[in-house]
Structure 1
Amino acid sequence: MPVAGEAEVLPPAMPETPAQPAPEIASADTIPAEARAIEKEMRIL
């Protein structure tokens, strides 16, 4: 398992959920809370 610091740098599509579609493809209801938080951070940046 990656270190917590490394996990934050990885893209939203993490190896833990390979069957999950990309955030931009999935609907807002299927996107996990973590992916939503990452999206908000990216929008702020």
Structure 2
Amino acid sequence: MTRLIALLLIAGSAAALAGCNTMAGAGEDISKGGNAITNSAEKAK
């Protein structure tokens, strides 16, 4: 579980650095990363 969260954080950071050109874009990317972590945690219950 810890490895999955770490992998998601790394992937989210890479996507945020590669995909956002504005602060609004960065906020959306961070939000999507948070949603992915939340969904993974819900599935692991």
TM band (smaller chain): 0.3 to 0.5
Higher relative contact order (CA 8 A, sep 6+): 2
- Larger helix proportion of the pair: 2
> What is the TM-score normalised by the length of structure 1?
0.33
Q: Please report the TM-score for the alignment, with normalisation by the length of structure 2.
A: 0.33
